[in-house]
């Protein structure tokens, strides 16, 4: 009943309140938000409105909620953009907001750039990029008795590991989202592969080639190899897709 204001949506007021507290440094990652009831009382809105705002924050990867009591309970500020980006891309693809071809084009842009950056970093005198995680995944992909779906999951993890190695959290989260957006199509595309054995062998070889070019600090080769790797795969599995330029 607190004559708050003109804002037509109460839950938006909650969202803005939390965002402001974040920007002001009042709330830091790891800290807890006030309880839903307290937040509702403070802002003069109902608890349901608070919950709707918290739901949005949770979907955006801003908070994690837990029931019960103790320091682990409640809404805790985290920053896990990967899941949020994945949900966003997945839903946008489902609603035809993001054409699959644009997802692939964007993936091409980001991965090509990441590979080039990694190679450049390898050439510098400073710390070389950490490719251990990526290579461990490549080793796992050499296992001969992998289901195609398992191989695909490792493949996705490898590409994500490259992004992580670049140290760019925005690119990492975005690539996780892009991958999620086309996951369904990737699984469908498995059925189109005639000779899976040959295809997986080629993919493995291409992966090694990319890492090799990065290690050799050959940015141009890293770029072109990862580009050809991705566009070649999509050309094979989705020949009807609009050809990706770039």
Partner DNA sequence: CATGCTACTGTGGTCAGACCACATCGGCGC
Partner DNA sequence: GCGCCGATGTGGTCTGACCACAGTAGCATG
Distance in Å, CB of 232 to a copy of itself, minimum: 19
Question: Helix, strand, or coil here: 77?
Answer: strand
Other residues' Cβ atoms within 10 Å of the Cβ of residue 215 = 16
Residues 185-224 that bind a copy of itself (CB under 8 A): 187
Q: State the nearest-atom distance from the C-beta of 225 to DNA, in Å.
A: 45
Q: Token pair of 116, please?
A: 């080039």
The nearest distance, CB 199 to DNA, in angstroms, is 42
Residue 42 as a binder of DNA (CB under 7 A): the answer is: no
Residues 158-187 contacting a copy of itself, CB under 8 A: 167-171, 173-174, 178, 183-184, 187
**Contact between 238 and DNA per CB under 7 A:** no
Q: Which residues contact 165 (CB under 8 A, 6 or more apart)?
A: 118, 129, 130, 131, 133, 134
CA distance 53 to 7: 14
User: Residue 46 and residue 4: Cα distance in Å, rounded?
Assistant: 12
The residue from 33, 85, 162, 226 that contacts a copy of itself (CB under 8 A) is 85
Consecutive H or E run containing 48:
helix 47-59
Does 75 sit near DNA (CB under 7 A)? yes
Contact flag: residue 31 with DNA (CB under 7 A): no
Determine which helix (DSSP H) or strand (DSSP E) holds 66, and give its type and residue range: strand 63-66
Told to check if 74 binds DNA by CB under 7 A, we report yes
**Best CA proximity match to 225, nearest among 245, 204, 210:** 210
Angstrom distance (rounded) from CA 67 to CA 61 = 18
3-state secondary structure of 11: helix
CA atoms within 13 A on the CB side of 135: 10
What mask, x for binding a copy of itself by CB under 8 A, covers residues 44 to 63? ----x--xxx-xxx-xxxx-
* Segment lying near DNA (by CB under 7 A), choices 49-57, 106-114, 126-134, 166-174: 49-57
Q: How far is the CB of 12 from a copy of itself (least distance, A)?
A: 10
Number of chain residues interacting with a copy of itself (CB under 8 A): 63
DSSP count for the chain of H helices, then E strands: 11, 2
The binding site for DNA (CB under 7 A) comprises 1, 8-12, 33, 35-38, 40, 44-49, 51-52, 54, 65-75
The binding site for a copy of itself (CB under 8 A) comprises 1-2, 11, 19, 22-23, 27-29, 48, 51-53, 55-57, 59-62, 77-81, 84-85, 87-92, 94-99, 102-103, 105-106, 109-110, 113, 116-117, 120-121, 167-171, 173-174, 178, 183-184, 187, 245-246
């Amino acid at each position: 009943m607190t004559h708050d204001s003109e804002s037509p949506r109460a839950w938006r007021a909650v969202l803005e309140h939390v965002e402001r507290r974040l920007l002001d440094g009042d709330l830091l990652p790891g800290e807890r938000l006030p309880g839903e009831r307290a937040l509702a009382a403070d802002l003069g809105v109902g608890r349901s409105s608070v919950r709707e705002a918290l739901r949005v924050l949770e979907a955006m990867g801003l908070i994690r909620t837990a029931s019960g009591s103790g320091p682990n309970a409640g809404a805790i500020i985290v920053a896990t953009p990967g899941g949020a980006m994945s949900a966003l891309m997945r839903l946008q693809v489902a609603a035809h907001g993001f054409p699959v071809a644009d997802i692939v084009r964007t993936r091409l842009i980001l991965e090509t750039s990441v590979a080039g950056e990694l190679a450049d970093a390898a050439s510098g005198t400073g710390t070389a990029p950490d490719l251990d995680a990526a290579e461990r995944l490549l080793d796992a992909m050499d296992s001969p008795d992998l289901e195609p779906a398992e191989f695909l999951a490792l493949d996705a993890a490898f590409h994500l590991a490259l992004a992580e190695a670049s140290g760019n959290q925005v690119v990492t989260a975005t690539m996780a989202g892009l991958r999620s957006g086309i996951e369904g199509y990737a699984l469908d595309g498995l059925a189109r592969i005639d000779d899976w054995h040959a295809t997986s062998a080629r993919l493995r070889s291409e992966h090694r080639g990319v890492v090799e070019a990065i290690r050799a600090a050959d940015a141009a080769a890293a770029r072109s190899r990862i580009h050809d790797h991705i566009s070649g795969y999509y050309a094979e599995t989705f020949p009807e897709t609009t050809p990706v330029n770039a």
